[in-house]
Amino acid sequence: MLQDRPRVVVTRKLPDVIETRMMELFDVQLNLDDHPMSKAELFEAVRTADVLVCTVTDQIDSKLLSQKGKNLNLIANYGTGIDHIDLASTRQHGMTVTNTPDVLTEDTADMTMTMLLAVPRRLTEGERRLRAGEWQGWSPTSMLGHRIYGKRLGIIGMGRIGTAVARRARGFGISIHYHNRHRVHSDTELELEATYWESLDQMLARMDMISVNCPHTPATYHLLSARRLKLLQPHSIIVNTSRGEVIDENALTHMLIAKEIAGAGLDVFEHEPSINPKLLALNNVVLLPHMGSATHEGRVDMGEKVLINIKTFVDGHTPPDRVLGEVSQLTT
């Protein structure tokens, strides 16, 4: 059990209501200007903190943790994904890691569905043309896209978010297909009229749209490799609101340039915040700055989970959102 007011270092700016509550409960160091912490700042944080509240922009690796102070025993991640944290190293140091599951499911699924609409209907391309003064009025053959009703959607990773995407897509008359490490419950399949594909390769070759909803783990790095991307049909589109590392971004870019697939919607990137300049030049791609879960409600809900996890740990109990080990290969 930690001291009554443990020292909590927060690496990025959080919603005001969350920071205020943290100040009431703990001895807190905030990041008021929201700058990404440098390596030197992170080293200082792990040396002095009892609890580190980190985000996806912080690389919590073995080198960093080797410099941790004796009192740092909890990493309370502000976010669901934990691929930026070296879990093996935290276990070696006897540390507890928590995250914020469940609260981002609906927001991320909303954004996924938005991109599944935006890419085939060329929404952002049309908006850019309008702002540039290039629109000359309605024409029967201008800005033609493709309907999504009746199309087949292949979901990679049928966890919480993948299932929420499927429920939305069903409302648009889309046929649901999925690939997952394990088959989902028969009741879920029945509700969604979903078809399970044990072979990812076979599913990719038959879909009109692909939604990537699996986490980034060593097993899913470049899961959509150049070879697998070549299996997609020329009219197909791919949407990724998960992690950029799941797709071979260079191979995807080359295929989009060559029009070997019709389009893509990307909210995440392999080397973010750096973006391949070739992607920026394409009209058949919708690009967003990792904002799939960016809602006021979601960010506050995440903060409340962080508060509960810290307070529970401080009180000498197991936090409700403790990360027990590697996340499963294809669920999120």
**For residues 138-147, average pLDDT:** 96
pLDDT in tens, 241-285: 999 999 999 999 999 999 999 999 999 999 999 999 999 999 999
Rounded to the nearest 5°, which phi and psi values hold at 78?
-90, 85
pLDDT in tens, 154-176: 999 999 999 999 999 999 999 99
Residues of the chain with CATH 3.40.50.720: 7-103+295-314, 105-287
pTM (two decimals): 0.89
Query: Both tokens of residue 119?
Result: 């890419």
Q: What is the DSSP letter of 37?
A: P
Q: How far apart are CA 234 and CA 245, in angstroms?
A: 23
Query: Both tokens of residue 233?
Result: 């049909």
Active-site residue among 41, 44, 191, 272?
Answer: 272
Q: What's the pLDDT band for 324 if we cut at 50, 70, 90?
A: confident
Place domain 105-287 in its CATH homologous superfamily: NAD(P)-binding Rossmann-like Domain (3.40.50.720)
Q: How far apart are CA 69 and CA 153, in angstroms?
A: 48
pLDDT at site 327: 45
Q: What's the pLDDT band for 209 if we cut at 50, 70, 90?
A: very high
Instruction: Tell whether the model's pLDDT for residue 321 goes beyond 70.
Output: yes
For the chain, what is the mean pLDDT?
A: 95
**For residues 181-208, average pLDDT:** 97
pLDDT at site 332: 37
Active-site residue among 7, 21, 122, 243?
Answer: 243
Among this protein's residues, is 290 annotated catalytic? yes
Q: Using an 8 Å Cβ cutoff, are 252 and 228 in contact?
A: no
Q: Output the 3-class SS for 89-136.
A: HHHHCCCEEECCCCCCHHHHHHHHHHHHHHCCCCHHHHHHHHHCCCCC
Pick the CATH number of 7-103+295-314 from 3.40.50.720, 1.10.150.20, 1.10.760.10, 3.40.190.10: 3.40.50.720
pLDDT in tens, 212-231: 999 999 999 999 999 999 99
Instruction: Tell whether the model's pLDDT for residue 330 goes beyond 80.
Output: no
Instruction: Tell whether the model's pLDDT for residue 4 goes beyond 90.
Output: no
Active-site residue among 167, 183, 290, 322?
Answer: 290
